[in-house]
Amino acid sequence: MTSTDTTDRTALVTGASSGLGADIARDLAADHRVLLGGRDAARLGALAGELPGAEPWRVDLTAADDVAEATARIGRLDVLVHSAGVCELGSVADSDSGQWRRAFEANLFAVVDLTRALLPALRAAGGHVVLINSGAGLRANPGWGSYAASKFALRAFGDALRQEEPELRVTSVHPGRIDTPMQQAIVEHEGGAYDPGRFLAPATVARAVGNAVRTPADAHPTEIVLRPTGR
């Protein structure tokens, strides 16, 4: 099977209740049955109603028992997109250990645990893991320490997984700042005026993810970096 064969292909997208995750789900729904991961039942239900064949997959990714129960029902998985995450800003001096723990819990540990639980299903399909990382996973800026550290760690996880599971494809996506509700909260924290034209459109990043997933099987898209042009 090549990545353009779409019969009975299944994708699980976390963070699908809003923002980038929802747009990735919309893109993949063109040729996949999509499981919509998230915690907001109303938003997941509304998106499932919009996308033929999609269904909510309501799971708290930080709850080990919930993850174990939900993944046990998945015997084969072609695509796993990790889009859920958190971002809290603050200097090293001003951020407490709780902020750092929350960043690693959501942005790394939840990703590792879900991937490990789904490895048998991914192996059965010769599947593809997509990690939505960040420009902060390539460089750290002042005030972004806890977030960048978790994203650097996420990149290391992807690099290790790619080498340990040669039958899978593993793609790390490093977008610049995206026009999402999370971005609005970040700009508010920074004290600036929000101008969506400065940022990447979620649909643009979603298309890049879709292109990676649909890359023919003789190629392995390992890393994608996107920067906003401001146009």
Give the residue extent of every domain in the chain. Answer: 10-226
pLDDT in tens, 69-91: 999 999 999 999 999 999 899 99
pLDDT band of 60, cuts 50, 70, 90: very high
Distance CA 27, CA 32 (A): 9
**What pTM was estimated for this model as a whole?**
0.92
Residues carrying an active site annotation: 147
Per-residue model confidence (pLDDT) at position 184: 73
pLDDT in tens, 158-176: 999 999 999 999 999 999 8
pLDDT at 112 over 50: yes
Per DSSP bridges, beta strands 79-82 and 55-58 are: unpaired
Please name the amino acid found at residue 84: A
Own/partner pairs, 116-122, CB within 8 angstroms, 24+ separation: 117/67, 117/68, 117/71, 118/12, 118/71, 118/74, 118/77, 118/80, 119/165, 120/75, 121/71, 121/74, 121/75, 121/76, 121/77, 122/77, 122/80, 122/165, 122/168
Per-residue model confidence (pLDDT) at position 231: 65
> Which CATH number, 2.102.10.10, 3.20.20.150, 3.40.50.720, 3.30.465.10, labels domain 10-226?
3.40.50.720
Judge residue 203's burial from the number of C-beta atoms within 10 Å of its C-beta, 0-12 exposed, 13-18 middle, 19 or more buried. middle
DSSP 185-196: HHHHHHTPPP-G
Q: What angle do CA 16, 27, 130 make, to 5 degrees?
A: 65
Count Cβ atoms below 10 Å from residue 56 Cβ, excluding itself. Answer: 21
Count Cβ atoms below 10 Å from residue 179 Cβ, excluding itself. Answer: 22
What tokens were used for 173?
């996506």
Q: Which helix (H) or strand (E) holds 155?
A: helix 145-164
Stretch 3-28: mean pLDDT: 86
